[in-house]
A and B are shown apart, each in its own frame.
Chain A
Amino acid sequence: MEAWAVKLNTRITGALQSISFSRRMLFVGGGQIAVGGVLIGRLGFLSIAENEHYQLLSESNRVQLIVVPPRRGWIIDRTGKPIAINRSDFRVDVIPEQMTDRAATMATLTELLALTPDEIDRIDREMKTSKGYQPVQIAESIPYERYAAVTVRLPELPGVQPQRGFSRFYPDGAAVGHLVGYVGTASAKEYEKDKNPLLITPGFKIGKEGIEKILETSLRGTPGGQRVELTARGKLVRELTPKPDRSGQTVQLTIDKGLQVYAARRMGDQSGALVAVDVVTGDILAFVSMPSYDPNSFSDGIGRTEWGMLSKDDHIPLLNKVTLGLYPSGSTIKPAMALAFLKQGIDPKRRVHCAGGYQIGNRYFRCDAAHGSMDMHSAVERSCNTYFWATGLITDPAKTTEMVHYLGYGQKFDLPISSQRYGTMPNPEWLKKKYDREWQGYDSANTSIGQGYVLVNPMQLAVMPARLASGKLLQPRLLMGERRQPPPNLDADPAHLEIVRNAMAAVVNGHGTGVGSKLPLDGIQMAGKTGTAQVFRLGLRGHQSNWALRDHALFVAFAPTDKPRYAMGCIIEHGGFGASAAAPIVRDCMTYLFDQQKAMDMLGPLEQQWGGTLAERTARRAAAIEAAAKATLGRSQA
């Protein structure tokens, strides 16, 4: 023990100890002063150098901005009738931080609002990720009775906020589904992209599809803000000056709502698309893809069952067939072909004998009938393939296909639509590039009757007759506000156009393939062209029922024949002959434009036969979906 001690010869005395004490006192005192200096320095640093930074933090602590979502702009039709509006509704949110007993509050809310396990699951997930004063939606679009039930029990439900809000409402439901798209809550990905706090405000919806998505910036408006002073626990201390919100702009479409709804109803349960275009302006009057979903049910938040049923339907209600559906044009290409032949100097009086088919190389192409001797007029009127095969062989395929493309087939249009598939109008150069082979006689043959590589979308089916009818290079437009140049004349001889138009008029009013679809109107005639597209490669779409094996029915038309005003293109998937499925629909829609009452009268009996109007059938389907959802739920709970 002693060995450890320092060996010191000098004995440490009291005096020495006193000196040592003084020295060490000085050291301790110095240390204290140094620490005091550091403290004062730190205090000065925090309150002078960092003052601005911390003032900002303190302010952002104190003041919270509660986003007041703006009302979404309306979407109206060309005459101002509403297509998409906002409906006042009731909603219930919670602020998780303010909840004292989550389990009890949630139990009460579940009972009061009849929340489903699906919803409770979602709420739980959102509550876990919610930060600060960020509210979480419990339920929206709830009936007044339930809203009132929550309101009266509010004192025992801290953190619960019953509110009045607005939800998107589409008065015409499924009839405008693919046109306007729908709105929905922003996804996590969308929020990550622009970090806008508005996107995670409960009840705020953004456009997810169609016009709602494309024109989001105009429709959204500017959010208001309620600046509030909050305690750390989220208790409101006082409200500071609010910033008013600005509603989104109203968007006016060129759509004629009456026609849009009529066409949608007229299509019944068939799968197809119809586009109507104003021949003078290029305005799109109808933009119908059926069957459609009800955008209202998306705006309320679509259930899993409904989504499942929609996506499994072989009529693909979730596909916008107007811009995304591609079909062989079939014989609807023939008027454009005729114009191309005329331009290359083919005499319209030149006759071709149809013996029921035509030999090209070592292949025999079969016509629908033995039409006998055909000139251009009768070949279009009666849709004789032989004439077009034979004439296609003596003309330049490059020039021919270019003219058809010029008239609209395979063209992309500048429209406020999220995605367009614009198909293919093949030509020799394209063929060389794509398949590395020369254009053959059978390519001309296939193309001249709208088969082979030819793929068009329904929008093009309407633009082509519109251009033929007007003689102008019309561009379709969907937005009313846009100013634009008057369309230039088509690069075609007016006399040639006249020949083609007359032939199309004969299709419906002469001895043609569409005589069954004459307009039931005095003094107004419709010109058109039927088309029947073979359905190739059936396996591609994955359904193999008999319905799926049938040909697509197409019809393009304009009216009146003497002074064209409207043009339409229609495709009914697997409708069989164009004359039987598509033409009557176009006829009735055309009729609607000239005589609404007559058109409605014709629709009545049909709808009776189909089991109710579109709205009634949609409602019935919704009920079926709900029942199915309950059944699944019951099973999973059992």
Chain B
Amino acid sequence: MILSAIIPQPLAKLPWRLIFLVMAIASFGLIILYSAAGGSIRPWALSQGMRFMFFLVIAISMSWIRESTIKQAAFPIYGAVLLMLVLVEMIGFVGKGAQRWIDFGFIRLQPSEFMKPAIVLVLARFYDLLPPSDIRRWRAIWPAGLLLGVPAGLILIQPDMGTCIMVVLGGLTVMFLAGLPLRIFVGGGLAVAAALPIAFSMMHEYQRKRVFIFLDPESDPLGAGYHISQSKIAIGSGGIWGKGYLNGSQSHLDYLPEGHTDFVFATMAEEWGLVGGLLIILSFAMVIRWGMMVSYRAKTRFAQLTAAGLSATIFYYVAINLMMVMGLAPVVGIPLPLVSFGGSAVMTVMLCLGILMALERQQRTSSRLEG
């Protein structure tokens, strides 16, 4: 190919289709944020764009990391993130209030965000180390349960329900793919169903309210059901083609709360309609499919599990957010990655993609060597 001839080797080897896809989603996100700010690149679009570029560069650089390095780093990374979680908890305890951040002065870190890829890495590593014959034994379960349960518990008491759900789902996906007996999941599912009332009784008042509102958003359309009601109005009123760019009354007149963060999809759907919504959903589907293919083609168990787990993490991000804004799930505070304003989600997704790109590069190089 002529193109590959002029483009330098290292660049040509990048998964350009994915990068373009991700850049397209992020650009669309910036366009939406521009509108959400009332037709201005401030305060959101500009800083979000810079953030995205920054993490994109990091993700691309990460693609040169070797699988063995990632493998070796899995436990230390997990340990460090867990330590930070405990630290946050202690600071929160001292400061007498919910605490999710560690402030390093120049940057504020939300360790629970790092836990999303970290849990995938550490569990993939764990099952990689576990002899195949042990997969149906008790020792295949309890360490994984501990690895998952401790951070999940720490995040839950922060309290950050959304992140906790994401971490647990990501971890469970890895455990499921690792081949744990099916009945653990079936039984676990039943146990969760049975434990729901207990969990409900332990929830914070605002969390409980969210569940109620989810079950019946119209019961209090001006109060706590406001988010879901207004989001559905925004999406529904957009119709097939939308109200036109910069013409969304729900977002521009502030009826839609969090129109630039968690509910950015509603802001978009109001102006771009069903067409815009399909565009976003399908783009993400392609990203996730790409990640799943990386997993499918992976040669090593670690790469398989890691790639699938990270792809699933991105999937859960998108799915839970969309279900939330369309009234199919309670409001749990999960942003739409690459589109919503905010650094955490971009960072997490780009870290996931960086690792995925690294794994993918190794597949290509190793296959070339073999071929």
Contacts and interface: CB of A to CB of B under 8 A. Distances in A.
Interface of B: 132-133, 135-139, 173, 176-179, 181, 222, 230, 232-240, 249-250, 253-255, 269-270, 273-274, 277-278, 281, 285, 288, 292, 295-296, 301, 304, 308, 312, 315, 319, 322-323, 326-328
Most buried by B among A2, A14, A35, A230: A35
Nearest to B304: A21
Interface in A13-72: 13-14, 16-17, 20-22, 24-25, 28-29, 32, 35-36, 38-40, 42-44, 46-48, 50-51, 53-55, 57-59, 61-62
22 contacts: A12-B132, A14-B301, A25-B177, A28-B176, A28-B292, A35-B315, A38-B328, A40-B277, A40-B281, A42-B326, A43-B322, A43-B326, A48-B240, A48-B274, A51-B240, A54-B232, A54-B237, A57-B236, A58-B233, A59-B237, A230-B253, A233-B254
Chain A, interface size category, equals: 35 or more
B315 A61 contact: no
Given A2-B138, A12-B133, A232-B254, A46 B232 contact: yes
Given A24-B179, A36-B281, A43-B269, A61 B253 contact: yes
Nearest to B257: A232
A61 B301 CA distance: 54
Contacts of A59: 237
A262 to B, nearest CB: 57
Contacts of A48: 239-240, 274
A229 B253 contact: yes
A11 interface: yes
B28 to A, nearest CB: 16
A55 B243 CA distance: 10
A60 to B, nearest CB: 9
Given A1-B138, A50-B236, A58-B237, 16 more contacts: A6-B137, A11-B133, A12-B179, A17-B301, A28-B292, A32-B288, A39-B281, A42-B328, A47-B277, A54-B235, A54-B236, A58-B255, A59-B237, A61-B250, A62-B253, A231-B255
Contacts of B326: 39, 42-43, 46
A58 B249 contact: yes
Contacts of A35: 315, 319
Given A5-B137, A12-B132, A232 B277 contact: no
A104 interface: no
Contacts of B176: 24, 28
Contacts of A1: 138-139
B334 to A, nearest CB: 14
Contacts of A44: 274
Interface of A: 1-2, 4-6, 8, 11-14, 16-17, 20-22, 24-25, 28-29, 32, 35-36, 38-40, 42-44, 46-48, 50-51, 53-55, 57-59, 61-62, 131, 229-233, 237
A32 B138 CA distance: 29
Contacts of B288: 32
B299 to A, nearest CB: 10
Nearest to B321: A39
A47 B237 CA distance: 6
Contact of B323 (A6, A32, A39): A39
A32 B315 contact: yes
B238 A47 contact: yes
B254 A13 contact: no
B179 A55 contact: no
A46 B234 CA distance: 10
Contacts of B139: 1
A484 B102 CA distance: 90
Contacts of B295: 25
Contact of A43 (B233, B235, B319): B235
A20 B273 contact: no
A40 B173 contact: no
Given A36-B281, A50-B236, A24 B274 contact: no
**A contacts with B: majority SS:** helix
B237 A55 contact: yes
A576 B319 CA distance: 92
Contacts of A47: 235-236, 238-240, 269, 273-274, 277
Contacts of A55: 236-237, 239
B278 A43 contact: yes
A43 B177 contact: no
Nearest to A14: B132
Contacts of B269: 43, 47
A293 to B, nearest CB: 41
Contacts of A13: 132-133
B60 to A, nearest CB: 25
Given A16-B132, A47-B269, A55-B239, A6 B181 contact: yes
Contacts of A231: 253-255
B253 A40 contact: no
Contacts of A46: 232, 235-236, 326
A428 to B, nearest CB: 67
A519 B137 CA distance: 123
Contacts of A36: 281, 285, 319
Nearest to B270: A58
A583 to B, nearest CB: 67
Contacts of A62: 249-250, 253, 255
B292 A51 contact: no
A321 B132 CA distance: 104
Contacts of B315: 32, 35
A376 to B, nearest CB: 79
B132 A39 contact: no
Contact of B312 (A6, A12, A20, A28): A28
Given A28-B312, A39-B319, A12 B136 contact: yes
Contacts of B173: 28
Contact of A2 (B137, B301, B308, B323): B137
Contacts of B281: 36, 39-40, 43
B224 to A, nearest CB: 15
Given A17-B179, A25-B295, A40 B278 contact: yes
A188 to B, nearest CB: 20
A233 B222 CA distance: 12
B253 A237 contact: yes
